[in-house]
């Protein structure tokens, strides 16, 4: 009879597949059948009168009986192990088949088709053995048999339809790189739905209770973390649909693993935090219910972690109860974290946390009430909110029993430990907030890590770009050999941070050797920004800056070696003496000792700083510090000397001395580029000037030309400020 049904199912599947032409219709039919299969499975799960663990527990009728008690065996050991593996394969294939139509994963389709068809056929062939495992009889017309027949028929039907599809689309032989991925899916899926009696049936007792940090307990603690990392790293490069498929599969696996054992009595109702979690997680994943998901994320993960760290069992590691406990808490711990890590659910914001607290509050109030009610009929202790398990553990039993409210209604006694239950609630909320901060810290770490990876890749890319641009030349050679004795700024733009506004926009300028180039502009015009980008203190948003042919962006060290910089502020260590400071800067520029001392003496003499050079900088005046910075910037005799407002706050003598040094430096064929507000100074010592207004270059002028045309720089500057780019027309 069962074989007849099997052939009929296969025949119908072929018929429907080849008669239905439209793919869309096939998709819809598949979805309907998948949902139907899950409903039929659920119906059997909750209506069968036997203890459902026997569905899978085929080796021993009574799990507690020693393995070598042959009188309790249903089948020979070989047949028992075969049926056990068949049930295992059925469970894994069934979940593939149920999930596939909603995610369209080619791998799931392939595995569901192959494994589903084979296990479906084997289930029909060994139908009697399954019935014996259910209820120890082979009556084909019993309620249970018919249920199971429908389930198996539906399962085989979908598997055959999928098989036809892959045959028709010539997907029967996977591509080379698909083999490994499918093997991993098989291993992962099989582990996810492993029969909880498997290890005990195969190996008997392990010999250790995984409690109090024994080696097996340490393994149990480490395993979820290891599993999460493995799943995350294996799947992080997959597309989002594949990631969602994994999370959905795990949610279904958690559900089936939880109901591996029939939970009928009041005390076994799924109202413990992690038991509720596996139910809510399935609903959350299937129907995208954020409230349920984040409740699991903030409340259950904590509870599961506590359960893994402090388990309350005393059986051997391989026993059914320990494996059940382990799987339940493993899923309650792992699924929420993985679902966020793999972006199936978005990273929580505070709003999600509040929703989680709301759901937890409803859950907690329900549990407190149900504990008070059900304890009239049985001993229940959902979420440990009724017994003295926790108060005894922490030695505060008085708090529970000294603050209690008790009343009777309709002959039922309701007992509330108000202080303990309120404190328990508040502490858990506090723990949820703590977990929020832990998650937040972990997210930050993860973000930091991804940014680092991206940055490292960018650095590598920049280096490759540089090598390409150099076209076989050494990185120490200038990118633009033609620009050897000049500063060349091309279309330079700079934005600060996340600002939308450009501090400097599309700025282009060339400064040649021997020139003293003045850079004029109002406060906030962009002078310092431009200078800081030339010397490499600030990054460049757009464009290119070359110093002596070297790009400051891609050859910063080579470019900086050729720059001397006097900042608009004193970059000096006040706890050093002047000499120590100069030596420090000279070391930074690798200036040999002899040259360094000679240059220092000459410059200090010129700037009248010799007397103070061995005093602590802390005691220097503003002008002395400025002179020290000037000496430091010239200690390596740079071909490009850049000064940002160098004469501000200087006395006339110091100002004169610095101007003289600028002239001398330019006379040697070097570039002197400096910014200033003081038009008279610029007019007096510069050969050329550039004017910048509100981040844009408004003109470049030759001082001699201006003099010839009898144009005052002050008038020109004021005109430029008022008229913008039309200043050039003025000339």
Partner 1 sequence: MFERIKILTLMQLSNKSRLYVKGSKRVYVHIAIRTAIIIALTVIVSLLLHVLKNILFIPVNEFLMIFILIMTQGLNIIVSTIGLVSDLYHSKDNQILFSLAAKNDEIFFSKIMVTYVNEFVRNLFILIPIFVGFGVISNLGILYYISLIFLIFLLPIISVGISSFISMPFASFLNYIKRHNLLSAILSLIVILGLFYLTTLLVQQIPTPIRIVQLYNRFVVSITIAIQRIAQYGSIYTVIGKMLFNYHYLRNLLILVGTVLGLIAINYLVSKPVYFRLMSTSQENTVRKKDKKYKPVEATSLFITFLKKEFTIARRSLNELLSNYALLLTLPFFMFVLNYIYMGMNRSSFGNQVVLIMNVIITLLIATGSNTASATAITTEGYEFVLLKTAPYNTSRMAWAKITFNFVFTTLMIALSFFLFSKALPVFPKQDIWLLFLFVIFVNSGHILWSFQIDLLTPKLSDYASTGSIANNHNVSRSLSTGLFLAFFFGAMAIIAFIFIKEFGWTLMLLLSAVFLAYRFHTFNSYLNAYFDDIEY
Q: What is the rounded distance in angstroms from the CA atom of residue 156 to the CA atom of residue 151? A: 9
- What CA–CA distance (Å, rounded) separates 506 from 542? 8
Task: Count how many residues are written for the chain.
Answer: 731
Note whether 539 binds partner 1 by CB under 8 A. Answer: yes
Tokens of 2: 């069962």
Q: Which of 26, 263, 484, 570 binds partner 1 (CB under 8 A)?
A: 570
Listed ranges 120-128, 279-287, 370-378, 572-580: which one lies at the site for partner 1 (CB under 8 A): 572-580
Query: Considering only 113-121, 140-148, 514-522, 581-589, which stretch makes contact with partner 1 by CB under 8 A?
Result: 581-589
Q: What angle do CA 13, 19, 20 make, to 5 degrees?
A: 90
C-beta separation of 461 from 614 below 8 A? no
Bridge partners (DSSP) listed for residue 711: none
- Cα-based torsion angle of the residue sequence 251, 252, 257, 260 in order, rounded to the nearest 10 degrees: 150
**Least distance (Å) between residue 398 CB and partner 1:** 7
Q: Which is nearer to partner 1, 177 or 590 (CB)?
A: 590
Q: Residue 162's closest CA among 26, 6, 343, 293?
A: 26
Q: Does 306 bind partner 1 (CB under 8 A)?
A: no
Strand-strand pairing, 688-693 and 671-676: unpaired
Q: Is 234 in the site for partner 1 (CB under 8 A)?
A: no
Q: Can you tell me which of 42, 365, 464, 557 binds partner 1, judged by CB under 8 A?
A: 557
Question: Does position 619 bind partner 1 by CB under 8 A?
Answer: yes
Is residue 456 close enough to count as binding partner 1 by CB under 8 A? yes
Q: Confirm or reject binding of residue 558 to partner 1 (CB under 8 A).
A: yes
Q: Does 650 bind partner 1 (CB under 8 A)?
A: no
- Sites for partner 1 among residues 177-216 (CB under 8 A): 212-214
When computed from its CA atoms, the radius of gyration of the chain, rounded to whole angstroms, is: 40
Sequence-ordered alpha helix ranges (H) in 259-396: 273-287, 290-295, 301-309, 320-341, 350-374, 389-393
> Phi, psi (5° rounding) for residue 60?
-120, 130
Least separation in angstroms between residue 645's CB and partner 1 is 14
Q: Which two tokens mark 350? A: 């505070």
- Residues 378-417, interacting with partner 1 (CB under 8 A): 396, 398-399
Judged by CB under 8 A, the residue of 128, 587, 651, 715 near partner 1 is 587
Min. distance of Cβ 569 from partner 1 in angstroms? 5
User: Are 493 and 568 in contact, with CB atoms under 8 Å apart?
Assistant: no
Contact with partner 1 (CB under 8 A): which of 615, 687, 694, 723?
615
Choices 106-114, 257-265, 579-587, 723-731 (CB under 8 A): range interacting with partner 1: 579-587
Binds partner 1 (CB under 8 A): choice among 423, 681, 706, 711: 423
Contact call for residue 580 and partner 1 (CB under 8 A): yes
Q: Are 123 and 169 in contact (CB under 8 A)?
A: no
**Quick check: 579 binds partner 1 (CB under 8 A)?**
yes
Which of 584, 651, 664, 680 contacts partner 1 by CB under 8 A?
A: 584
Instruction: Quote the CA–CA distance of 243 and 233 in Å, as a whole number.
Output: 11
* Residue recorded with tokens 């608009």: 568
| Contact pick of 567, 670, 675, 693 for partner 1 (by CB under 8 A) | 567
- In the bound state with partner 1, the residue whose beta carbon lies nearer, of 404 and 412, is 404
- 226 is a site residue for partner 1 (CB under 8 A): no
Candidate ranges 29-37, 39-47, 334-342, 553-561; the one touching partner 1 (CB under 8 A):
553-561
Looking at beta carbons only, is 127 or 565 nearer to partner 1? 565
CA atoms of 457 and 468, how far apart (whole Å): 16
> Coil, helix or strand for 519?
strand
**Interface with partner 1, residue 618, by CB under 8 A:** yes
Report the 10 Å Cβ neighbour count for 583. 19
Residue 561: how many CA atoms within 13 Å on its side-chain side? 13
Span near partner 1 by CB under 8 A; candidates 14-22, 42-50, 565-573, 722-730: 565-573
**165 or 580: whose CB is closer to partner 1?**
580
Q: DSSP secondary-structure letter at 145?
A: H
Among the listed residues 447, 614, 680, 714, the single contact to partner 1 using CB under 8 A: 614
- The one-character DSSP state at 123 is H
Both tokens of residue 655?
């100002």
Q: Which residues bind partner 1 (CB under 8 A)?
A: 212-214, 218, 350, 396, 398-399, 423, 426-427, 430, 433, 448, 452, 455-456, 459, 532, 535-539, 556-561, 563, 565, 567, 569-573, 575-576, 579-580, 583-585, 587-590, 593, 612, 614-616, 618-619
């Amino acid at each position: 009879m069962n074989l007849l049904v099997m052939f009929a199912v296969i025949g119908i599947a072929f018929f429907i597949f080849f008669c239905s032409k439209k793919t869309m219709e096939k998709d819809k039919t598949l979805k309907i059948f998948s949902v139907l299969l899950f409903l039929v499975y659920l119906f059997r799960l909750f209506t069968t009168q036997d203890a459902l663990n026997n569905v899978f527990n085929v080796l021993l009728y009574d799990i507690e009986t020693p393995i070598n008690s042959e009188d309790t065996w249903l089948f020979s050991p070989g047949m028992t192990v075969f049926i056990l593996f068949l049930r295992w394969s059925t469970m894994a294939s069934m979940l593939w088949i149920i999930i596939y139509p909603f995610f369209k994963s080619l791998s799931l389709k392939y595995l569901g088709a192959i494994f589903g068809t084979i296990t479906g056929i084997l289930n029909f062939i060994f139908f009697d053995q399954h019935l014996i495992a259910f209820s120890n009889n082979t009556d084909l017309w019993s309620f249970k048999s018919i249920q199971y027949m429908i389930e198996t028929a539906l399962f085989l039907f979908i598997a055959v339809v999928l098989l036809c599809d892959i045959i028709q689309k010539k997907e029967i032989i996977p591509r080379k790189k698909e083999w490994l991925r499918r093997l991993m899916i098989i291993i992962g899926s099989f582990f996810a739905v492993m029969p909880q009696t498997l290890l005990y049936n195969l190996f008997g007792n392990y010999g250790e209770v995984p409690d109090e940090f024994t080696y097996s307990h340490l393994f149990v603690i480490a395993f979820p973390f290891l599993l999460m990392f493995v799943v995350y790293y294996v799947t992080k490069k997959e597309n989002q649909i594949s990631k969602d498929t994994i999370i959905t599969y795990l949610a279904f696996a958690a559900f089936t693993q939880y109901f591996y054992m029939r939970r009928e009595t009041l005390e076994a109702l799924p109202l413990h935090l992690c038991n509720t979690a596996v139910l809510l997680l399935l609903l959350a994943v299937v129907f995208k219910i954020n409230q349920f998901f984040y409740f699991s994320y903030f409340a259950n993960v904590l509870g599961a972690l506590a359960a893994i760290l402090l388990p309350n069992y005393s059986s051997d590691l391989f026993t059914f109860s320990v494996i059940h406990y382990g799987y339940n808490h493993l899923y309650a711990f792992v699924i929420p974290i993985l679902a966020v890590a793999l972006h199936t659910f978005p990273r929580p914001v505070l709003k999600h946390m509040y929703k989680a607290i709301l759901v937890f509050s409803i859950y907690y109030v329900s549990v407190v009430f149900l504990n008070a009610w059900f304890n009239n009929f049985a001993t229940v202790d959902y979420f440990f909110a009724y017994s003295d398990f926790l108060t005894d553990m922490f030695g505060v039993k008085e708090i529970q029993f000294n603050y209690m409210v008790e009343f009777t209604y309709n002959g039922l006694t309701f007992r509330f430990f108000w202080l303990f239950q309120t404190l328990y609630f508040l502490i858990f909320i506090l723990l949820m907030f703590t977990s929020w901060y832990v998650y937040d810290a972990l997210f930050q770490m993860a973000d930091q890590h991804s940014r680092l990876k991206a940055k490292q890749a960018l650095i590598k890319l920049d280096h490759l770009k540089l090598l390409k641009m150099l076209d076989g030349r050494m990185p120490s050679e200038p990118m633009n050999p033609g620009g050897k004795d000049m500063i060349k700024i091309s279309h330079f733009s700079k934005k600060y941070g996340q600002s939308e506004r450009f501090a400097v926009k599309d700025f282009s300028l060339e400064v040649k050797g021997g020139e003293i180039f003045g850079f004029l502009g109002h406060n906030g015009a962009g002078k310092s920004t431009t200078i800081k980008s030339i010397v490499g203190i600030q990054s460049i948003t757009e464009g290119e800056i070359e110093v002596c042919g070297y790009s400051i962006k891609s050859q910063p060290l080579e470019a900086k070696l050729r720059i001397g910089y006097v900042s608009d502020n004193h970059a000096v260590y006040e706890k050093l003496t002047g000499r120590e400071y100069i030596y420090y800067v000279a070391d930074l520029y690798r200036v040999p000792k002899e040259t360094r001392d000679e240059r220092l003496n000459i410059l200090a003499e010129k700037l009248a700083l010799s007397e103070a050079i061995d005093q602590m900088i802390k005691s220097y005046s503003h002008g002395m510090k400025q002179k020290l910075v000037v000496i430091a910037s010239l200690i390596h005799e740079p071909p490009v000397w850049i000064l940002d407002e160098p004469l501000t706050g200087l006395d006339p003598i110091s100002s004169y001395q610095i101007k003289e040094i600028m002239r001398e430096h330019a006379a040697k064929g070097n570039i002197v580029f400096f910014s200033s507000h003081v038009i008279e100074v610029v007019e007096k010592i510069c050969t050329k000037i550039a004017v910048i207004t509100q981040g844009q270059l408004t003109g470049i002028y030759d001082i001699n030309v201006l003099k010839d045309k009898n144009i005052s720089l002050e008038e020109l500057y004021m005109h430029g400020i008022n008229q913008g780019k039309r200043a050039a027309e003025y000339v």
